[in-house]
Amino acid sequence: MNNFIVMQGRTYQEEKNLGIIWSPQTDKGGKEPHFWLRMKEVEKGDRVFHFVKGNIVAISIASTGCEKAKIPFNLRNKSEWNEDGYLVKLEYHQLDIEVNIKENISHISSALPSVYSPFQTNGNGNQGYLFPCNEELAIKLLELISELNIYHINEEQLEFSIDEVRRIENNTLIPVIAETESEIKAKIRLGQQKFRKTLIPLWGGKCALCAINLSELLRASHSKPWKDSTNLERLDPYNGILLCCNHDALYDNGLITFDAQGRLHISSVISGDDYKIYGLDPTFKIQISSKNKEYYKWHKRNIFKPN
């Protein structure tokens, strides 16, 4: 199961009524924008979050994969589009209370990918139609949706609020949220277990910096984070390094990194007087494979905080 965010705006109500999302295949110049081409990635059972005028307004489940289709009749007044397009049929579940992204950007910002992000850092939506939604971002959105749309009623309320009871019983969001969250967390857990299992032998079962070999203290650190990686990159053991929990925290937060030759770089945020406390040696160099290099370059360029 994969997750997506669709930016619908003025087409939302029409597409909801039809139980679909639809995009052209190409623009007027014959080009294929990534946000339309991505429609081909949608498969039956995938989840889609619907973003309209600053808010997440619905979750849907794909009832079919992507198929080629002419523009639906109801959308033909959108004359700027080509008629040949991609169509996915969906089961829409509209939220009773919408989630405003600007108001909650601080909650989700850490899960936004470096490329193809649906949202800007100020909470505005990026221009486009269909965007990937990594598992970390999906979970954060589900948390916000649950807080606003899942009702918790105590025994006293149950005695006097029959309407509220009916409201809960008929709330189709509850099973959708529960099933979606369960599947996402299972996917992350199984992926991380596989990644760790294949990464450990590459580093001899010990921290690359301090040689701690106690399994409970070792972390399989991604160089290119889960949220920014493809499915293949997430499981690639060369996309990472085995570190103790302290050095893992430094690496994950961009306070240390490695270059393509394996040389350690330390952020100036850490005083040289404290290197010994953190178990860091600025002259240290790890032995790396050629398969590590591009991932370490990515980490140094995108995660590392030199100052």
pLDDT in tens, 192-234: 999 999 999 999 999 999 999 999 999 999 999 999 999 999 9
For residue 99, how far is the Cα from the chain centroid? 17
C-beta separation of 62 from 104 below 8 A: no
Q: Is 139 helix (H, G, I), strand (E, B) or coil?
A: helix
Q: Which two tokens stand for residue 118?
A: 């649906």
Average pLDDT over residues 145-171: 58
CA distance 251 to 304: 8
pLDDT of residue 139: 96
Average pLDDT over residues 46-54: 97
Residue in the structure block whose two tokens are 């709330």: 171
Superfamily of domain 3-149: ph1033 like domains (3.10.590.10)
> Which amino acid is located at 14 in the chain?
E
pLDDT for 288 beyond 70: yes
pLDDT for 28 beyond 50: yes
pLDDT of residue 249: 97
Strands 47-52 and 3-7: parallel
Higher pLDDT, 172 or 114: 114
Confidence of residue 257 (pLDDT cuts 50, 70, 90): very high
CA distance 87 to 251: 42
pLDDT > 70: percent of the chain? 92
Confidence of residue 173 (pLDDT cuts 50, 70, 90): confident
- CATH 3.10.590.10 domain locations along the chain: 3-149
pLDDT of residue 81: 73
pLDDT in tens, 62-100: 999 999 999 987 776 655 678 899 999 999 999 999 999
Q: Which two tokens stand for residue 236?
A: 């690639």
CA distance 262 to 77: 57
pLDDT of residue 253: 96
Higher pLDDT, 153 or 183: 183
List alpha helices for the chain, DSSP H: 12-18, 34-37, 105-108, 135-149, 155-160, 162-169, 173-199, 231-235, 245-252, 275-278, 293-302
pLDDT in tens, 116-127: 999 999 999 999
Q: Which two tokens stand for residue 271?
A: 């005083």
Q: Is 173 helix (H, G, I), strand (E, B) or coil?
A: helix
Higher pLDDT, 29 or 207: 207
Burial class from Cβ neighbours inside 10 Å (0-12, 13-18, 19+) for residue 187 reads middle
Name 215's Cβ contacts closer than 8 Å, sequence gap at least 6: 205
pLDDT of residue 50: 98
Judged by average pLDDT, the poorest of 45-54, 158-167, 223-232, 259-268 is 158-167
Confidence of residue 171 (pLDDT cuts 50, 70, 90): low
Average pLDDT of every residue of the chain: 91
pLDDT of residue 77: 62
pLDDT of residue 154: 47
pLDDT > 90: percent of the chain? 82
pLDDT of residue 165: 47
